[in-house]
Structure 1
């Protein structure tokens, strides 16, 4: 019997199956510094202990997307080692801030399966939950991924496609941060004068800046999350694949777009929920990422006078600035430059 892990193929999954993932990961200040080096994120709450403490945090929390990536990375060896592509996200909730020194682990449940008509692959739906060392949930989300079959002749399971919410209800978003003393919010240090009431539904923001992805950077980032998917690392195997080169991890694109969004959304200091997301097209080293955002909804949170929630749709593009807001047409066809369409909630001081 082999002692190595070849990963699960589509036939290995069953609806209701629970997967407890290796290995727990203690988040350190080194992880935070390296994350900043990779993306240049400038949100003040996550950048400064002093700024965060003035609002009521014990110290600066870890960037929400770093938490997401670490939890995601735990799931890869069991869920997507044999993936063709990660297809989308829904129903994500950030349930508690995470601080350096805390240890994260992850558990997933298979909630849906659907074989593809080509007989070679199928789509696996999982709900993954991240926990800190005391068992407190810090994050949960659904993702669906296209996974190769081990044997194309194996019978297809009865299809089960979960009913996923279009969006997280805003009243459930308050757990993403403690109650804040917003008198401690310093607009000059935050880098923006704009607060919750300054954003209007339908407003579009060109985040202006662009960031080119380097081969070493995207691989370093993916290793930081202990994401073992060979599609991001192994040029020998990927050189024989459909693209002939390694793909940039989709989460790397999300973090780039999030970091770029600071220019225009600098007060959107917490990602509180993920409503949906789609990796529209692959990204490769050498491509330059730009981003723009639209405010889809502005919501107050029951019992919270300190923060409000903005539902934001961020579009990331490849090798195209976003002055004219490239997106999709009336038929849903995306502009060829679009690589990411991400719908999420952020918290903004009132």
Structure 2
């Protein structure tokens, strides 16, 4: 058999390292498509001149371009037969990705837990994205619910990794040379700086985007994400193609520009949950909550920890969960991350 049906839950072994196929060289083409697919307009990623004024050699690729590219490499080995992508933790962006860089991915299985129904299990992996010089540009943990091929296959020993609730501010890695002491707030689009935000503050980002089937399909193909639930309408009983969760992340992050235009660079992913499925025709809106703030050693640069919540349809009401502790049905995404902002 020369074709690849993908891995099932019983195919994973604790500790194994999986080298994912097909390295990818990213270019200005990915940047242009990213900005066409999402209303992305943070200045540091849009303008070489703005980036150089901030101490960088040019505008790097958007942080989520790096994430989607690294993530997409892992899908054939990790989530081709996934039921759902459940969460993220301990994510850090370690080096900027520049146009012309070639990215590849590798993952280590760090946890396994069969579900009580015996039909599926949860696989925990730590993924690293590396560039052409074998430098790690990105790392994160995610856990995925994966179907079993053989329901009679014995359950593995349950190992659930202990994960940090958040990346400590002291563990954040800043790009070499980053300097916001000459930051141009007019060109960036908003006057609000690090000191203007208070822990506990909530921001309604106002705008919304209705997801189109064609845009979602283009985006998922762009990142070479081959998960069956995103393409094959016969893969779900309802006959609907599930919108890639990363598509929702990028939409919400782009929408957050209105109110957080100066939250320029994502440097850590503390936690994340795709709370409910998203489908074509859903209108995505977003709100953010300031969770923490910290100084950094870089000139004029502060770190801000944000919770980004995407909801569908109606205006955000700053609500996440019901009395039963479960996410409300309109909540699509709950993402906790650190970003860099001028002081």
TM-score using structure 1 length: 0.96
1:244 deviates by 2.2
CA distance in 2: counterparts of 1:28 and 1:90, whole angstroms: 28
Equivalent residue, structure 2, for 1:210: 208
Match of 1:27 in 2: 26
How much does 1:339 deviate? 0.7
Structure 1 residue 264 and structure 2 residue 255: aligned?
Answer: no
CA contact (8 A) 2:104 2:131 kept: yes
Displacement of 1:335 after TM fit? Answer: 2.2
Query: Hey, what does 2:241 align to over in structure 1?
Result: 246
**1:304 correspondence with 2:302:** no
Aligned residues: 343
SS of residue paired to 1:263: helix
Structure 1 range deviating more: 177-186 or 150-159: 177-186
Where do residues 68-83 of structure 1 align in structure 2 (5 Å cutoff)?
A: 68-83=67-82
1:207 counterpart SS class:
strand
Would you say the 8 A contact 1:208–1:291 is kept in 2?
yes
Displacement, 1:306? Answer: 2.4
When residues 271 and 317 of structure 1 are mapped into structure 2, their CA distance, relative to the original with a 3 A threshold, is: same
1:179 is paired with a residue of what secondary structure?
coil
Residue number in structure 2 paired with 1:279: 274
Instruction: Provide the residue aligned with 1:58 in structure 2.
Output: 57
Q: CA deviation at 1:18?
A: 0.4
- CA deviations over 1:159-199 (Å, ceiling 9, x no partner): 00000000001112133x23333243111110010111111
State the 1:305 CA deviation. Answer: 3.6
Q: Provide the rounded CA distance (Å) in 2 between the counterparts of 1:331 and 1:198.
A: 35
Q: Does 1:333 align with 2:326?
A: yes
User: Aligned residue for 2:226?
Assistant: 228
SS of aligned partner of 1:333: coil
Give the 4+ runs in structure 1 shifted more than 4 A.
none
Are 1:179 and 1:306, in contact at CA under 8 Å, matched by a contact in 2? no
- Supply the distance in 2 between the matched residues of 1:279 and 1:254 (Cα, whole angstroms): 9
Task: Return the offset for 1:331.
Answer: 4.7
DSSP-derived class of the 1:304 partner: coil
Distance 1:27 1:110 in 2: 27
1:184-242: CA deviations, max 9, x gaps?
A: 3111110010111111000000000000100010111010110111110112x23xx23
1:349 to 2:342 alignment:
yes
Partner residue, 1:107: 106
Q: Distance in 2 between matches of 1:256 and 1:317?
A: 11
Structure 1: stretches of 5+ with no match in the other structure:
none
TM-superposition CA deviations, 1:13-60 (whole Å, max 9, x none):
011010000110000100100000000201000001111111111110
The answer to whether the 8 A contact 2:93-2:173 is kept is no
SS of the equivalent of 2:10 reads helix
Q: Residues of 1 paired with 2:237 and 2:257: CA distance? A: 35
Whether the 8 Å CA contact 1:174–1:304 is kept in 2: the answer is no
